[in-house]
Amino acid sequence: MAEIMIRAYVKEDKNDIMDLILDIQRNEFEIPISKDDQPDLSDIPNFYQSGNGNFWVAVNAKNQIIGTIALIDIGNQQGALRKMFVKKAYRGRTYNVANLLLQKLVEWAQQRNMNAIYLGTTGKFLAAHRFYEKNGFLQIDKNALPNTFPIMKVDTKFYQMAI
């Protein structure tokens, strides 16, 4: 199996991250979203890498970015999982990229004594729903989200994981 490494975002990753995420959103899931609709991706250090938050990338043996995941510190020892994307060729058990990314995020949150992680997703990401549920996330009603949770306009399903 090819070597996959999970590491924190560095500024040189910015364009590759944007390309990966937009390709998946637009071409695979036909979500009409642009770079301008996601200003967080233009300012990852300030948006994600503050407080207890962070942004990670998965890279293959050729140092190509093949996956992303982020955690936003929303206060009260809680976080919001964001920007979890894995290049189609690297999904599934063969490479285990999604699990490696989620494991890194959960370990980070545990080390910072966070007590819950929330996420919102679109109804189109059916495989993602199964992945989150298999990994300890419980679907919750939108009204059960913390007031500080940043809801995206495409979010229609919400999950919580107690840590």
CB within 8 A of 142, min separation 6: which ones? 151, 158
Q: What is the mean pLDDT of residues 10-20?
A: 97
Q: What is the mean pLDDT of residues 72-80?
A: 98
CB–CB of 123/89 below 8 Å? no
125: domain CATH number is 3.40.630.30
Q: For residue 113, is it left (φ>0), alpha (ψ between -120 and 50) or beta?
A: left
Per-residue pLDDT at 154: 83
Q: What is the mean pLDDT of residues 63-88?
A: 97
Per-residue pLDDT at 127: 87
Residue 29 has pLDDT above 60, yes or no: yes
Residue 130 has pLDDT above 80, yes or no: yes
- What is the SS3 assignment for 5-48? EEEECCHHHHHHHHHHHHHHHHHHCCCCCCHHHCHHHHCHHHHC
Length of the chain as a residue count: 163
In angstroms, the CA 66 to CA 23 distance is 12
Residue 36 has pLDDT above 80, yes or no: yes
Looking at the structure of the chain, the number of domains it has is 1
Q: What is the mean pLDDT of residues 114-137?
A: 93
What domain range is 25 assigned to?
A: 5-162
Span 37-55, pLDDT tens digits:
999 999 999 999 999 999 9
